[in-house]
Amino acid sequence: MTVSKAAPPGAGRVPGDAQPAPAGPRPRRVGPPRWLDLRLVLGVLLVLGSVLVGARVLTAADATVPVWAAAGDLAEGTVLAAGDLVAVPVRLDDVAQAYLASSTRPEGRVLARAVRTGELLPRSALDEPTGHVQLALPVQAGFVPPSLTRGSLVDVYALADPVTGATVAGGDVDLVVTAAPVQAVSGRGEGVLSTATTTVQVVVSMPARDAAGVLATIGGRGLVVVVRDDIDGGTAPGGGAPVAGAVPGSGAAAGSGSAAGIGAGPSGPAG
The residue-averaged pLDDT of 128-152 equals 89
Measured CA to CA, the distance from residue 161 to residue 167 in angstroms comes to 8
From first CA to last CA, the distance across the chain in angstroms is 163
What pLDDT digit, counting tens, does each position of 37-80 carry?
777 778 888 888 888 888 777 766 667 888 999 999 999 889 99
- Provide the pLDDT for residue 248: 38
Alpha helices by DSSP H, listed for the chain, are: 38-61, 208-218
Please name the residue ranges forming H helices in 98-155: none
Alpha helices in 101-233 (DSSP H): 208-218
Q: How far is CA 13 from the centre of its chain?
A: 110
Query: What pLDDT, on the 0 to 100 scale, is given for residue 172?
Result: 76
Contact of 152 with 179, CB cutoff 8 Å: no
Q: Output the pLDDT for position 70.
A: 93
Mean predicted confidence (pLDDT) in 169-173: 70
| pLDDT value at residue 35 | 60
Higher pLDDT, 223 or 25: 223
Burial of 246 per CB tally in 10 Å (0-12, 13-18, 19+):
buried
pLDDT at 31 over 70: no
Q: How confident is the model at residue 171 (pLDDT cuts 50, 70, 90)?
A: low
More confident site: 129 or 203: 203
- Given pLDDT bands bounded at 50, 70 and 90, which one contains residue 221? confident
Where are the domains positioned within the chain? 65-127, 132-251
What b/e string do you get for 121-146 counting C-beta neighbours within 10 Å, with b at 16 or more?
Answer: bbeebbbebeebeebebebbbebbee
Q: Give 84-136 pLDDT, tens digit per residue.
A: 999 998 887 778 788 888 888 988 899 989 999 999 999 888 888 778 899 99
Kindly report the three-state secondary structure assignment for every residue of 33-52. CCCCCHHHHHHHHHHHHHHH
Residue 203: predicted pLDDT: 94
Predicted local confidence at residue 230, as pLDDT: 81
CATH 3.90.1210.10 fits 65-127, yes or no: yes
Q: What is the pLDDT of residue 270?
A: 34
Q: What is the mean pLDDT of the chain?
A: 74
- Greater confidence (193 vs 135) lies with 135
pLDDT in tens, 150-161: 999 999 999 887
Average of pLDDT values for 173-185? 91
Percent of the chain with pLDDT over 70: 63
Percent over 90 (pLDDT), the chain: 23
